[in-house]
A and B are shown apart, each in its own frame.
Chain A
Amino acid sequence: MSTSIIKTENLTKIYSGNIKAVDNASFEVEEEEIYGFLGPNGAGKTTTILMLITLLKPTSGRATVCGFDITKEQAKVRSSIGYVSQDTAVDENLTGRENLLLQGHFYHLPKEVLEKRIDEVLEMVDLTDRANSLVSTYSGGMRKRLDIAEGLIHRPRVLFVDEPTLGLDIQTRHKIWEYIQRLREEAHMTIFLTTHYMDEADKLCDRISIIDYGQIKVVGEPNELKSQIGGDIITLKFTNETNSYTNQALAEIKKLSSIENIVPTKDSFSVVAKDGETTVPKIFEVAGKAGATIESISLKRPTLDDVFMAHTGRELREETSNKEDLMKERIRIRRVRM
């Protein structure tokens, strides 16, 4: 038997109007892994989750979760998974404890177990002292924590978390990451999450799939994916870009053994080098010998953004705003709604 707890084969969802939201997605998630789907909004991340948690029927392809078929054994899938949606769907008119009680009842937990479990998950997300307050008095981060706690109440083997930190501030995001990591360590849970934040995928996930327009572009460990870029990224700017000394210097730099690639950008050069730290002094040395003067130089490790760029040809970062706006609008609606 394999250790894959989630396994999909050519999973495809075509919405009416011939929109291919998920296109032949095949992947496997191993037990006790934090697996991330990284991609821009509309890439098909949520659609994939909804299919895996049995709320959406795939158009074609198949998938198993905990060994159960998502179309033929829906009840068994539902009992063995937890789902934390990107909507932070906690009931404002109930207290934190009441929300958990309701969730526990939905999963048919016996009363004695439920009482203990509620205290346990409340403690896990540090909400014990606010458990009896109405959720309408909670901050955004507290709501998300409660939402995650609800997903844990029945100790699922797999927890699906859709955009865990959408619309939250930096400190709260780090907190949520800690909770998710703790979950895996303490509860030995497998966690499948989606995100459009590359730092989230990078910090949190053991392995990620980069998904764009419904297609999985590449799968791997974040570090491995970044190292596939071929090295560090050195941005180099000369005082005088076009003179012969500069050209001479560039030719010499190219000859260095650690250099993978040099690409001219608007007013500088982007250099991919295997070993950035030791390459930078060498560049100075070679440029100096050639008589060129370097105005500025910077070194950075490749990010998942660079990985995304390499596999899709476009940047991930630009498109984040509209979903956050939507989230803010939702929060406004809730306030108005009473």
Chain B
Amino acid sequence: MSVLGDIWNVCWRELKRFRRQPARILMSIVQPIIWLALLGNMMQAITPMLGSGVKSYLDYMAPGIVVMTTIFGGVFGGLSVVWDRRLGFLNKMLAAPISRSAIPIGKMIASSLISSIQATLILCAAIVMGVNVATGPLGIVAVVLIAMILCLMLSGISLALGAVIKSHETLMVVMNFLTMPLMFTSNALFPKSLMPGWLQTIADWNPITHTITPIRTITTQGWEWALILPDVGAIIVMTLAVIAVATLVFKRSIS
């Protein structure tokens, strides 16, 4: 299948580039670890309000921080297409007989794979800091897989914007503008049940919430499939839709 081959080639390049930039890997996990250490201790007092089964705020927020890392990885996924356009690499790929869709899809998969490394590292750091994962090693794998789906979605949005915006400065500003509201209107750091009604409604529509809820169930409660599957199903559907739209937008931007 040459399309799959093309996707892999685009992806391979991004992964190689990532591996050559150790500073990028380091910086991408240092910040979330600081958040874990700071917030985890600062907010310890609200633990009793988090509902049954949650032993510490750190346990509660760890999934939120893992997802935050994936958000950061995902929202900047579109930058590479802006740079490729600017430096002429995009034209080089387009001049070759490769599938047009392979370029955005390969880049999305690459950001998702990169974020899986980051998510794994953060989760391991959290475990070292005392976070307990109820489902064990298999749970870690499941958490990382769910985080990867979210990363695919966000990098798709970023890529579609990048294909249209064409300026990395503007794209950075737009994506930065999206990141924080996405975080704080979700249940990443704060339980939905304690939010005001209007914020709960927003949180219900926020894909971040639907990523964090199953992850949190897996780490704090166990394999409660009835709580896990609907949310995971929802983000998979959303992600597929985003991939389709992003690919379409990208193809339009180059014709």
Report if A and B associate in a common complex. yes
- Residues of A whose CB lies within 8 Å of any CB of B are 50, 53-55, 57, 75, 78-79, 81, 83, 85-89, 91, 93-94, 98, 102-103, 105-108, 134, 150, 330, 333-334, 337-338
Residue of B nearest to A85 (CB): B88
Asked if A102 contacts B9 (CB within 8 A), the reply is: yes
CA distance A107 to B87 in the complex (A): 20
Contact with A along B87-130 (1 / 0, CB 8 A): 11101111111100000000000000000000000000000000
Asked if A83 contacts B92 (CB within 8 A), the reply is: yes
Asked if A102 contacts B12 (CB within 8 A), the reply is: yes
Asked if B13 contacts A83 (CB within 8 A), the reply is: no
Q: List 11 A-B contacts (CB under 8 A).
A: A55-B254, A85-B88, A87-B87, A87-B88, A88-B88, A91-B89, A93-B20, A103-B96, A105-B12, A106-B93, A106-B97
Partner of A83, one of B16, B95, B98: B95
Partner of A53, one of B5, B6, B89, B95: B95
Question: Using Cβ atoms and an 8 Å threshold, which residues of chain B touch A86?
Answer: 88
Known contacts A87-B87, A334-B87, A337-B83; is A93 also within 8 Å of B94 by CB? Answer: no
CA distance A57 to B6 in the complex (A): 24
Partner of A89, one of B12, B17, B91: B91
CA distance A43 to B28 in the complex (A): 46
Asked if A91 contacts B17 (CB within 8 A), the reply is: yes
Asked if A85 contacts B91 (CB within 8 A), the reply is: yes
Asked if A330 contacts B95 (CB within 8 A), the reply is: no
- Residues of B whose CB lies within 8 Å of any CB of A are 2, 5-6, 9, 12-13, 16-17, 20-21, 83, 86-89, 91-98, 254-255
Asked if B91 contacts A55 (CB within 8 A), the reply is: yes
Partner of A55, one of B12, B21, B94: B94
Partner of B97, one of A85, A87, A107: A107
Residue of B nearest to A107 (CB): B96
Question: Using Cβ atoms and an 8 Å threshold, which residues of chain A touch B86?
Answer: 333
Question: Using Cβ atoms and an 8 Å threshold, which residues of chain B touch A330?
Answer: 87
CA distance A81 to B91 in the complex (A): 14
Q: Sort A-B residue pairs by CB-CB distance and give the 7 closest, nearest first.
A: A87-B88, A89-B88, A106-B96, A83-B95, A78-B97, A93-B17, A105-B9
CA distance A108 to B102 in the complex (A): 14
Asked if B16 contacts A94 (CB within 8 A), the reply is: yes
Asked if A78 contacts B96 (CB within 8 A), the reply is: yes
Apart from A54-B95, A93-B20, A107-B96, what are 9 other A-B pairs with CB-CB below 8 Å? A78-B95, A85-B92, A93-B17, A94-B13, A102-B13, A105-B12, A108-B2, A108-B5, A150-B92
Partner of A338, one of B21, B93, B94: B21
CA distance A94 to B14 in the complex (A): 10
Question: Using Cβ atoms and an 8 Å threshold, which residues of chain A touch B16?
Answer: 93-94, 98
Question: Using Cβ atoms and an 8 Å threshold, which residues of chain B touch A150?
Answer: 92
CA distance A94 to B5 in the complex (A): 19
Min CB–CB distance B1 → chain A (angstroms): 11
Asked if B20 contacts A134 (CB within 8 A), the reply is: yes
Q: Which of the listed residues A53, A93, A98 has the most CB atoms from chain B within 10 Å of its own CB?
A: A93
Question: Using Cβ atoms and an 8 Å threshold, which residues of chain B touch A91?
Answer: 13, 17, 89
Residue of B nearest to A83 (CB): B95
CA distance A334 to B254 in the complex (A): 23
Residue of A nearest to B24 (CB): A338
Partner of A94, one of B2, B17, B93: B17
Min CB–CB distance A148 → chain B (angstroms): 12
CA distance A338 to B87 in the complex (A): 13
CA distance A53 to B93 in the complex (A): 12
Question: Using Cβ atoms and an 8 Å threshold, which residues of chain A touch B92?
Answer: 83, 85, 89, 103, 150
